[in-house]
Amino acid sequence: MHRKALRIVKDAAYATKLYFLAAPALFALYTVLQIGSWSSGALSLAMVRQITDTFIQGFPGLAMKALTIYILIHAFRSLASAICTYAGAILKDRGSIFTVNELAENLSNVTTLDTFETPEYHDLTFNLRNLDWHLYQASSALTTMVPQAAAVISHSILLGSISPFIPAVIALSAIPQMLIKHSLMTMHYSGLLSQAPELRKLNYLQNIMLHPQYAGEVRFLGLLPRLRQSYTGLFDQVLKREMGIARKKTTNSLLLSAATWLGTASAVAIGTYLVISGDVTAGDFAVLLPGAVSLSFYVSQLVDWLGSMEMLTLHMGSLRTLQSLGQPDGVPAGGGSATQHDGMPADDQARCGPMHSVSVRNVSFAYPGTDRKVFDGLNLDLAGGETLAIVGLNGAGKTTFAKLLMGLYRPTAGEILVNGRNLAEYEPDSLRSQVSCIFQDYGRYLLTFRENVGFGQVGKMDDDAALWHALEEAEVADVVRREGAGSESGKGLDASDPRSAHASPHARNTENTEAILDAQIGKDFGGTELSGGQWQKLALARCLLRDASFLVLDEPSASLDVETEYSLYLRFKGMMKDRMCLLISHRFTTVRMADRIVVLEDGGITEEGTHEQLMDLGGTYARLYRQQAGRYRQ
């Protein structure tokens, strides 16, 4: 019990710290006004007693002074309530932004992908979808704990002057309230945890039924009845479980209300007896009922605070688990010395210069949570200036191999050497600054053209010349000019304007093109819509913007026609003279341009050589090449 109370206090203090750091001045104002507002209740009742007694005793002057103080107290409370409502809403928003940024910054230390590909991670993030609200509730409750306690003490003193039994019976009612509140909180959060996978799947099914991305295929295939059936079946399953929890919650809530009512009723009964027996003054009688109700309310608020703190602690467990993903073992989230990954101090990690060799030594790899090895004892060397193509059937591990070389996965056995040094010994950001990649599942960012290309190297985001050069290299510059000129930011451009798609190439390349690059993409936000091939060319431009010594191209032309793909690879051949390149493609007309080709099968390399050597070998590569060439001829 002591450990649990200590954990509640620590988590509450951490939540308060987050909101203080988000907006220090606003947080201070909010806290001071809350303390003043909550603490003035007993003083207000004391003024009521003073007014009543002094009028009856024939002292109207004293009564008027007490009445003036009473009015000022309520004016202050009304003003403080209005300001706290406004300040609390702003504080919630600022705290939400600050907390998400803090979490994102912490997770930025997680440089491998295996963490994000587990059901546990998705359940954690799903359970924390309302974290900002829980943090706000906890922080708000913590800032009001002191004034709540002051209100309980002041009201207890006020009512205790009438009879010590009145505050005593109300205080005793807090014991069953705390026990019932604990049971409610435990049921609520255990229900959330147990249903996280099902609720995530419900959200996913709803997205398939409603999102425009799936609209065409869903309607063409007539999938809506099937999807609705799956959605309804899963919903009924979740609802049945929720109804069971709801019944228990209702019973406990009724017991909680009964315990609160019993304390208030007992206090009023004692006061009524004293009034009948003539042991109290008229002023005492005037404050007895509202004072008992107020004290009971403040006691219930303290119980609610404990409940919200307990709920916060349950949510904070998920938050701290997520934060710990960005911390080395043994270092608590939010503290400790500066360290990096694999337990290696940041000062001991090397900076990676231009990559002139990559060696894979006896590497094995299996995805977390599985026993099936994608690779088992893999060996391969890649030299500077060489283009290596990886081919194989779907599921052979081509993309996984590329991600291993980029440090996005870590081998379960063996090692990967970059320039003769273990890849894990390099600073992750330094290593990746030497790698440029177009991913098979490249991003389609519904932002501006500038951002879609500039994300390749953020430092060049405002370098229009560099951005246009990358767009030209990816053969998508004309598309950007045309689509950008037709967007909201580019409207009004005509053929005579150097920013127009119809202007001369020289004018287009030398005049200001800021409006074009800052055009919005995506109809979701009122921008232009792009085809799959145009999106892929933008991803290529993003890749080409990055000044790197190692180029990784994972299906970089899957959405392009053969002629465009061939034109792009002729350009790539010129760009890759002094750089290493890893190429993954199912199109063998492109693959044959590589200096060396390897075939991945059954967790290892089964064939290796040039196009001509592999064709002479007559193995898997030759068979796949002939099958594809035959389809092209047909």
pLDDT in tens, 377-389: 899 999 888 889 9
Within 6-53, strands assigned E span: none
Mean per-residue pLDDT, 448-464: 89
| Residues in Cβ contact with 106 at an 8 Å cutoff, skipping those fewer than 6 apart | 322, 323, 325, 326, 327, 333, 334
How far apart CA 336 and CA 181 sit, in angstroms, is 36
Query: Burial level of 373, CB count in 10 A (0-12/13-18/19+)?
Result: middle
- Contact yes or no for 254/283 (Cβ under 8 A): no
Q: What is the pLDDT of residue 497?
A: 44
Query: 48, 38, 230: which is closest to 143 by C-alpha?
Result: 38
Instruction: Compute φ and ψ for 366, nearest 5 degrees.
Output: -140, 140
Residue 446 pLDDT greater than 90, yes or no: no
Residue 11 pLDDT greater than 50, yes or no: yes
Pairing of strands 580-584, 550-554: parallel
Report DSSP letters for 372-404, one per residue: -EEEEEEEEEEETT-EEEEE--TTSSHHHHHHH
CA distances from 197 to 28, 123, 125, 154, 208 (A): 40, 6, 11, 48, 17
Tokens 């147990």 sit on residue: 194
Residue 22 pLDDT greater than 60, yes or no: yes
Largest CA distance in the chain: 119
Give the helix/strand (H/E) hosting 237: helix 224-277
Lowest mean pLDDT among 212-226, 454-468, 493-507, 588-602: 493-507
Q: How many residues does the chain have?
A: 634
Q: What is the pLDDT of residue 361?
A: 93
How far apart CA 521 and CA 446 sit, in angstroms, is 5
> What six digits make up the tokens of 337?
């010395």
Mean per-residue pLDDT, 409-417: 90
Lowest mean pLDDT among 13-17, 80-84, 425-429: 13-17
Residue 551 pLDDT greater than 80, yes or no: yes
**Three-class SS state of 536:** helix
Instruction: For residue range 215-231, list pLDDT tens digits in order.
Output: 766 765 677 887 888 88
Q: What is the pLDDT of residue 549?
A: 87
How far apart CA 168 and CA 157 sit, in angstroms, is 11
Mean per-residue pLDDT, 117-137: 63
Q: What is the pLDDT of residue 511?
A: 43
First to last CA, the chain: 77
Instruction: For residue range 342-357, list pLDDT tens digits in order.
Output: 445 555 578 888 888 8
Mean per-residue pLDDT, 239-244: 70
Instruction: For residue range 261-309, list pLDDT tens digits in order.
Output: 777 788 778 877 777 777 777 777 778 778 887 887 778 777 776 666 6
Residue 494 pLDDT greater than 60, yes or no: no
Give the helix/strand (H/E) hosting 607: strand 604-609
Q: What is the pLDDT of residue 502?
A: 37
Report DSSP letters for 90-103, one per residue: HHHHHHHHHHHHHH
Q: What is the pLDDT of residue 439?
A: 81
Residue 454 pLDDT greater than 60, yes or no: yes
Tokens 């909101």 sit on residue: 19
How far apart CA 405 and CA 219 sit, in angstroms, is 41
Mean per-residue pLDDT, 89-116: 70
Mean per-residue pLDDT, 437-441: 81
Higher pLDDT, 606 or 129: 606
CA 143, 147, 149, 155: dihedral to nearest 10 degrees?
A: -160
Residue 599 pLDDT greater than 70, yes or no: yes
